[in-house]
């Protein structure tokens, strides 16, 4: 691939706008792939592989190094994949593992309760549902899979939020919280009270806080080291999952979550 001058690259990307940004991302990913293939490489090797000027390759490596995705051997100047890649890979592996191990547990919980069972994981500032199973009473065809839901207004979200490090939790709790129904908690004090209860009880509940007519319960799923990596629970119509029944359904969810935690290697 012929090299282009660094100045030409920059001007071309400025003219292309969004297309240039996409090209930069593509080049950054290519650098990671090159290092995965070669094990280590210098700026010259990487620039030749990419077909760009050395200064362009150096800037890309600088960004990746700042993010911890690549590291450099100071004495030889070689670059190699950094611990940040392992962190991302580990997060992906956990999500894959919980999906695989969670299938039979999620189905069993749906059969036990008759409602829709879901497994959710943290995705930035929201909970995302990665698995769903419908029980015999769940006549609705609503699909929660892949849907990102607010942490403060869902049972799964409250579980995940409650187990975050204090500083991160406070950042999310003290920001402006959107209201979805008249029952949605939108004050930091109110959410904190719910999170304290979730930690004490071992589960969280919501009563028409995300949608009118929808109630839910959820309990934490733990990895081998005890870290909370997901939430398992059930949701259903408020007329069937009445408030007084939520603690019992939550206890069932907690037992199922404990079983999934055991399958994930947690011995506690």
Segment 117-172, tens digit of pLDDT: 999 999 889 999 988 998 887 665 557 778 889 999 999 999 999 999 999 999 99
The answer to whether 40 and 78 have CB atoms below 8 angstroms apart is yes
φ/ψ bin of 226: left (φ > 0), alpha (ψ from -120 to 50), beta (otherwise):
left
Residues present in the chain in total = 268
CB atoms within 10 A of CB 143: 11
What confidence score (pLDDT) does residue 7 get? Answer: 47
Q: Mean pLDDT in the chain? A: 87
pTM summary value: 0.67
Which residue from 168, 144, 162, 122 is spatially nearest to 216, judged by alpha carbons? Answer: 144
DSSP alpha helices (H): ranges in the chain? Answer: 6-16, 18-38, 43-50, 54-66, 83-113, 155-162, 166-174, 188-201, 246-263
Tell me, rounded to whole angstroms, the distance of Cα 244 from its chain centroid: 31
Judge whether residue 9 has pLDDT over 80.
Answer: no
**Residue among 99, 149, 143, 153 nearest 125 (CA):** 149
Instruction: Write out the two tokens for 225.
Output: 């080291």
pLDDT at 10 over 80: no
Cα 152 to chain centroid, rounded: 16
């Amino acid at each position: 691939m012929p090299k282009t001058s660094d100045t030409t690259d920059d001007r071309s990307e400025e003219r292309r706008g969004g297309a240039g940004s996409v090209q930069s991302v593509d080049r950054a990913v290519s650098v990671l792939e090159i290092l995965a293939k070669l094990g280590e490489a210098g700026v010259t090797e990487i620039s030749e592989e990419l077909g760009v000027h050395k200064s362009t390759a150096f800037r890309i490596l600088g960004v990746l190094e700042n993010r911890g995705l690549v590291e450099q051997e100071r004495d030889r100047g070689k670059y190699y994949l950094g611990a940040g890649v392992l962190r991302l890979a580990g997060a992906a592996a956990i999500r894959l593992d919980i999906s695989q191990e969670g299938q039979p547990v999620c189905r069993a919980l749906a059969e036990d309760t008759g409602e829709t069972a879901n497994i959710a994981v943290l995705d930035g500032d929201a909970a995302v549902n990665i698995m769903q199973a419908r029980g015999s009473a769940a006549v609705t065809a609503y699909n929660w899979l892949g849907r990102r839901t607010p942490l403060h207004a869902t049972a799964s979200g409250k579980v995940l939020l409650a187990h975050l490090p204090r500083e991160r939790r406070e950042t999310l709790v003290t920001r402006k919280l959107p209201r979805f129904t008249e029952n949605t908690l939108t004050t930091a004090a109110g959410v904190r009270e719910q999170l304290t209860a979730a930690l004490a009880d071992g589960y969280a509940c919501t009563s028409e806080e995300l949608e009118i007519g929808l109630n839910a319960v959820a309990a934490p799923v733990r990895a081998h080291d005890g870290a909370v990596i997901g939430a398992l629970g059930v949701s259903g119509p408020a007329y069937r999952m009445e408030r007084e029944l939520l603690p019992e359904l939550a206890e069932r969810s907690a037992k199922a979550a404990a079983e999934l935690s055991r399958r994930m290697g947690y011995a506690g």
